[in-house]
Amino acid sequence: MKKGLLDAYVLMLLSHGDTYGYKLIQDVSDVIDVSESTLYPVLRRLEGQECLSTYNMEHGGRLRKYYRIMKGGLTKLADYRADCIELRHIIDRILERPAS
Protein backbone atom coordinates (compact mmCIF):
# COMPACT_ATOMS: atom_id res chain seq x y z
CA MET A 1 0.00 0.00 0.00
CA LYS A 2 2.85 2.39 0.85
CA LYS A 3 4.35 1.88 -2.64
CA GLY A 4 1.07 2.91 -4.25
CA LEU A 5 0.79 5.92 -1.99
CA LEU A 6 4.35 6.95 -2.84
CA ASP A 7 3.62 6.73 -6.56
CA ALA A 8 0.38 8.68 -6.11
CA TYR A 9 2.06 11.39 -4.05
CA VAL A 10 4.92 11.83 -6.54
CA LEU A 11 2.42 12.14 -9.38
CA MET A 12 0.30 14.59 -7.36
CA LEU A 13 3.33 16.78 -6.64
CA LEU A 14 4.34 16.76 -10.30
CA SER A 15 0.78 17.59 -11.38
CA HIS A 16 1.43 21.01 -9.80
CA GLY A 17 4.54 21.61 -11.89
CA ASP A 18 7.92 20.27 -12.94
CA THR A 19 10.58 19.81 -10.31
CA TYR A 20 13.93 18.13 -9.74
CA GLY A 21 14.73 14.96 -7.81
CA TYR A 22 16.19 16.45 -4.63
CA LYS A 23 13.20 18.77 -4.24
CA LEU A 24 10.85 15.82 -4.73
CA ILE A 25 12.68 13.91 -1.98
CA GLN A 26 12.26 16.87 0.37
CA ASP A 27 8.58 17.30 -0.45
CA VAL A 28 7.76 13.60 -0.22
CA SER A 29 9.75 13.24 3.03
CA ASP A 30 7.46 15.80 4.66
CA VAL A 31 4.67 13.19 4.44
CA ILE A 32 6.25 9.77 3.83
CA ASP A 33 9.60 8.64 5.22
CA VAL A 34 11.62 8.12 2.02
CA SER A 35 15.26 8.14 0.98
CA GLU A 36 17.00 8.77 -2.32
CA SER A 37 17.51 5.03 -2.74
CA THR A 38 13.74 4.57 -2.48
CA LEU A 39 12.55 7.51 -4.56
CA TYR A 40 14.82 7.38 -7.60
CA PRO A 41 13.75 3.84 -8.58
CA VAL A 42 10.13 5.01 -8.31
CA LEU A 43 10.89 7.91 -10.64
CA ARG A 44 12.65 5.61 -13.13
CA ARG A 45 9.75 3.14 -13.04
CA LEU A 46 7.16 5.89 -13.58
CA GLU A 47 9.27 7.23 -16.43
CA GLY A 48 9.42 3.74 -17.97
CA GLN A 49 5.63 3.52 -17.70
CA GLU A 50 5.41 6.83 -19.63
CA CYS A 51 3.92 8.62 -16.64
CA LEU A 52 6.88 11.02 -16.43
CA SER A 53 9.38 12.59 -18.77
CA THR A 54 12.68 14.24 -17.89
CA TYR A 55 14.79 17.09 -19.12
CA ASN A 56 17.96 18.82 -17.93
CA MET A 57 18.25 22.48 -17.02
CA GLU A 58 21.26 24.43 -15.82
CA HIS A 59 21.13 25.82 -12.30
CA GLY A 60 24.12 27.43 -10.64
CA GLY A 61 26.50 26.13 -13.28
CA ARG A 62 25.30 22.54 -12.91
CA LEU A 63 22.70 20.50 -14.76
CA ARG A 64 19.62 19.44 -12.83
CA LYS A 65 17.36 16.65 -14.01
CA TYR A 66 13.74 17.79 -13.93
CA TYR A 67 10.66 15.58 -13.96
CA ARG A 68 7.40 16.41 -15.75
CA ILE A 69 4.13 14.53 -15.51
CA MET A 70 2.76 13.19 -18.79
CA LYS A 71 -0.77 12.27 -19.88
CA GLY A 72 -0.25 8.69 -18.70
CA GLY A 73 0.75 10.02 -15.28
CA LEU A 74 -2.36 12.18 -15.06
CA THR A 75 -4.49 9.14 -15.90
CA LYS A 76 -2.71 7.04 -13.30
CA LEU A 77 -3.11 9.84 -10.73
CA ALA A 78 -6.86 9.95 -11.38
CA ASP A 79 -7.00 6.17 -10.84
CA TYR A 80 -5.06 6.50 -7.57
CA ARG A 81 -7.41 9.23 -6.38
CA ALA A 82 -10.45 7.05 -7.09
CA ASP A 83 -8.83 4.09 -5.29
CA CYS A 84 -7.96 6.27 -2.28
CA ILE A 85 -11.52 7.55 -2.00
CA GLU A 86 -12.85 4.00 -2.12
CA LEU A 87 -10.28 2.85 0.47
CA ARG A 88 -11.18 5.79 2.73
CA HIS A 89 -14.85 4.76 2.64
CA ILE A 90 -13.95 1.16 3.51
CA ILE A 91 -11.72 2.24 6.40
CA ASP A 92 -14.42 4.60 7.69
CA ARG A 93 -16.99 1.74 7.66
CA ILE A 94 -14.56 -0.55 9.50
CA LEU A 95 -13.72 2.03 12.17
CA GLU A 96 -17.35 3.09 12.65
CA ARG A 97 -18.61 -0.48 13.03
CA PRO A 98 -19.41 -1.31 16.65
CA ALA A 99 -17.46 -4.16 18.20
CA SER A 100 -19.40 -7.40 18.61
How confident is residue 53, by pLDDT bands cut at 50, 70 and 90? very high
Please state, in angstroms and rounded to a whole number, the distance separating the CA atoms of residues 59 and 48: 26
pLDDT for the residue numbered 100: 65
Please state, in angstroms and rounded to a whole number, the distance separating the CA atoms of residues 18 and 70: 11
pLDDT for the residue numbered 9: 95
CATH number at residue 79: 1.10.10.10
pLDDT for the residue numbered 36: 86
Q: Which has more confidence, 48 or 36?
A: 48
Give the number of domains in the chain: 1
Q: Provide the whole-model pTM.
A: 0.85
Please state, in angstroms and rounded to a whole number, the distance separating the CA atoms of residues 27 and 24: 5
The range of the structural domain enclosing residue 25 comes to 2-96
Which of 88, 69, 86 has the alpha carbon at shortest distance from 12? 69
